[in-house]
Chain A
Amino acid sequence: MVDINVVEAKGTARPKRVIDRLGLAMRASHVLVALFVVAALIFAAVGVIQDDRFFLRLGTEALIFAGLALSVDILLGYTGLLSLGQALYFGLGAYVSAVVLKEVPSFWAAMAAALVVALVIGFLAGLIANRVRGVYFALVTFGLAQVAARAVYNTRSLGASDGLIGVPVVPIDLGVITVMSNSPAGFFLFTLGFIVVLYAVCAYLLDTPFGRVLLALRANERRVPSLGYSTRNLRLSAYVLAAVIASLSGALYPMLRGFVSPELLFFTTSGNAVITVVIGGVGTLAGALYGGVILTVLKSVIGSLTEHHLIVIGLLFMATVIFLPKGIMGVVRPLIERMLRGGKR
């Protein structure tokens, strides 16, 4: 096998230099996600010992919103598309899951439905949104989500402004073990595993030639056609992938809370997901997970002190953009990269 990283080692005494920076960055993200998982497992263990419900369920919610942030990062961090309407797919997944679960309490049926609906709606909306770029793309995605939110808000059979309540507890049959969606620790661990799988799928795809061309799209869209790729098809693929990730994350929401409300589709949800990614670190995937936890915990903690928690989150967002433009991962990941590179010598 050809190892590109030994280009310079041939016939020289110089140490190997890593030439595939993107591969290295992705490996560093894996390390950070591994640390995240360890921390989450310790948190779960403490939660079980303390017989806690509140924090485990808050942690589960953080993970679910981290899944939504992951989908924003695929678009913003890897493809260079700012979506201000990713809540459309998150809410879609949540509503589809709630509707299915109220009819048939089967986890896998709910997931399959959320997947199929995201593929279809993502493809159709993607055709519309990808006709334009930049600010206009942001506005169209925003508009699409608003339309969906309004439609749900005014549809009585979907509970209108009240949302759908009474989603039953579902058993999640994983073959070897069955997790009940109302078990705080069990569902937390399941959600952790689920989000790690979503991360793994994204990380795998983004480290293939497909994913690298998405990065090329972000770097210089005009050059991509002369590499032999249709920019429209690529952007559409990224858009549908992000729709699926958001929808599958959203599908877990009614299992946790037992209800869905139109707020899940509102701009606040989309906007928070973008803020999550920016705080965590755009284009790192791992940042979406860390950012998701930070934002959810802050919202809850500050929200219990003052009802003006949005002001605090807004200030935090501004501070991040000014002082840490690459987010938390922008500070942490280079350290891990250096460690990994050191280990290779």
Chain B
Amino acid sequence: MTPNSMTNSPGSGTTLATQRDPAWMGRVFWFLAAIAIAWPMLVATEFKPWVLFEPSSLKPTLKFLGDFVPPKVEPGFLAMVAKETWRTVAIATAGIAIAFLIAVPLAIISIRVLSVSALTGRMNLLPASVRYAARTIAILLRSVPELIWALVFVRVVGLGPTAGVLAIALTYGGMLGKVYAEILESGEPHATTSLLRNGSGRLQAFFYGLLPQNSAELTSYTVYRWECAIRSSAVLGFVGAGGLGQQMDTSMKMFAGAEVATMLLVFIALVWIADSASAWLRKALA
């Protein structure tokens, strides 16, 4: 008879045995485990917040931050910032445009719904392996961060926007290709397969069956990626791929707080505009 089974008559609570919380030991264990895990992590990251407040680092920080006000608004400088901001947007746009050109064939090749041999049972070996290869290429392109592609291209083509455009093109090409394929395969395949069954070609089936079904979602995703690319292209500047990031890197290395402040504000505004534009477009498309 467990202590709990004595509690049948309501109101006779006095005979209850006092219980301990069964979860308590577990909680203590997990708490200690968390400390045991956190400790080496904090050591590895050299987590010493007090470093921030040591005079040797506090003084330059305060001086740098003090320079932030007022931001630099000299006309010549502003013109340069405007030009670099446009370059940032241009790198993102050109990158996405090339990425689109990479992604569309990758996606079309890798969609299983467009397989003619799969209509009558299993897919043949050759098309299956081609589809698999296209998928692998997309995943490989995507798995390398754009910053690393940029480092590689800076070595190959030199400093400047070309490296940034190519880096965005490759990473985003992989991403778009993979997601396009996922979007296109997620829908109802009936319209497409019936076109294929009636003897139309794969591309015809794509344009008349798959694409109209999914065009809004595809466009919306591409617009969202464009917004992401703008953030990326600003960051890529830090490794020498041109645009706002590169100027910011230079100004930071010279501890020019006022210039950094202006560029940060411009960048925040740019992200905000891209964010609202993309949100508006996606809403208009939905």
Partners in one complex: no
